[in-house]
Amino acid sequence: MKFHIHTTGCKVNQWDSYVMANTLRNRGFTQDSLGNADVIIINACTLTEGAEKDVRQFIHRARRLNKEARVVLSGCHAQVYPENVFGADLVLGQSEKFSIDEFLEKEGSFVKRTRVFPMEDALVDGFPTGRTRVFLKVQDGCDRFCAYCVVPFARGKPRSRPFEEIRRVMKTFREKGLKEVVLTGIELSSYCDPETGMDFKGLLQALETTETPVRLRISSIDPLYVDNEFVEIIAGSTKIAKSLHIPLQSGSDAVLEKMGRVYTRQFMGDLLEMIRRRIDSVGIGMDVMVGFPSEDEERFMETYRFLETAGVSYLHVFPYSARQGTRAASWKEDVPDTVKRQRVRILKGLDGILRRRFTERFVGTEAVIIVEGKIYRGSFLRGYTDNYIPVYVPYRKGLANDCVKVTIREIRDNLLLGEVKSSATPTFGGHPAGLPGEE
């Protein structure tokens, strides 16, 4: 039997789909295209109204292109809104989807309405084709219940992957030739090894002396967790990429308070200054929501002015949309959709300015990138620096999935262009690739 899996949403969803695909392959299923599959699976995000629209459109497209296939809806959308499934034949929640092979002969909804889910086994038998990096979920779930956020209902209570399992997976990835692993979770700051009680800082320190791929990257981190110790761990690491993604959401204290975010604009400004001072050339990205109830023009401009001068590298901007079940869903929507769209455009314009301002600093410098396999504009390969700058180099056979040293030459047609100097010898805790001290 052939299956096709489509993923929407966050890095955690990407990991979940990877495990689901491995589960099916281990049972003898073959992964194929949308048009050829017997079973079409959508592992779906439900964070925003736009995410829900993507689910609906994909299912309609799947029905149109492959009328004979069965459609399976799984993941966050299925868990929170199992009654709104757009005609899917089979609906699986957060725990059921990891046993998807046991449900494929069934029809209907098999979603358990609970917030208590186990951490699935890390099935890493298959390797993502053509990938230089992979997401490894080390944590899942959230108990924050911000006013706008449906994630605690979708993902359940916090739970963490044991360090010994993480160690095993890292070793497997390195043996398969993978160069970068992104440590991901819903609330990484709540990581707690169920066997030892080790927290996320302890996990980072333990990975420094563990056999892993050459580069580790942190996906997104709560600003309240970023203290002096956390920053020093990153600054002193030979593995952890010098980039951070931090969910700001708003630069207005009044809006932050209404959202249930327990920090202020001043706190964030001081935090960003401390990070930039201690981590040389650090790249910092931020999530920003516009149009939250009570965000008038002045409060929006507080966000804009903060971001304009905060020293961040890029923005991920999205409009607020009410999600059934959250506190904010019952509040008056006092920001029209036209205004939300306008504010998204304004901040995306600022994002372009911030990206160029950051990348211009590195023209004429050398950096190490991990080259990806996709060809851009017919003649370039792309790789990311450790501070998350995309650098494009002329295509050369054999470069894909290689760590190379480049000289960054210029920005041309909105691409940061580099020249390959040599293959870079990956370091591992201060030693060549391998276990620290290994000969």
Per-residue pLDDT at 424: 66
Per-residue pLDDT at 430: 36
Look at 424 and 233; give whichever has higher pLDDT.
Answer: 233
**What would the pLDDT profile of 228-240 be if each residue is shown by its tens digit?**
999 999 999 999 9
Per-residue pLDDT band at 74 (split at 50, 70, 90): very high
- Looking at 149-163, 362-376, 394-408, 424-438, which range is the least confident one? 424-438
Per-residue pLDDT at 429: 36
Look at 355 and 422; give whichever has higher pLDDT.
Answer: 355
Q: 371 pairs with which residues across the strands?
A: 383
Contacts made by residues 342-350, CB under 8 angstroms, sequence distance 24+: 343/290, 343/291, 343/300, 343/319, 344/290, 344/317, 344/318, 344/319, 346/304, 347/288, 347/290, 347/303, 347/304, 347/307, 347/315, 347/317, 348/315, 348/317, 350/304, 350/307, 350/308, 350/315
Mean pLDDT of 174-196: 96
Whether the predicted pLDDT of 414 surpasses 60: yes
Per-residue pLDDT at 190: 98
Mean pLDDT of 115-138: 84
Whether the predicted pLDDT of 125 surpasses 80: no
Per-residue pLDDT at 107: 95
**What would the pLDDT profile of 294-318 be if each residue is shown by its tens digit?**
999 999 999 999 999 999 999 999 9
Asked if 375 contacts 383 with a C-beta cutoff of 8 angstroms, the reply is no
Domains belonging to the chain, first-starting first, are 2-110 (3.40.50.12160), 115-241 (3.30.750.210), 366-426 (2.40.50.140)
Per-residue pLDDT at 261: 97
- Rounded to whole angstroms, the Cα distance separating 220 from 218 reads 6
> Which token pair is 264?
């202020």
Whether the predicted pLDDT of 348 surpasses 70: yes
Per-residue pLDDT at 132: 79
Whether the predicted pLDDT of 319 surpasses 50: yes
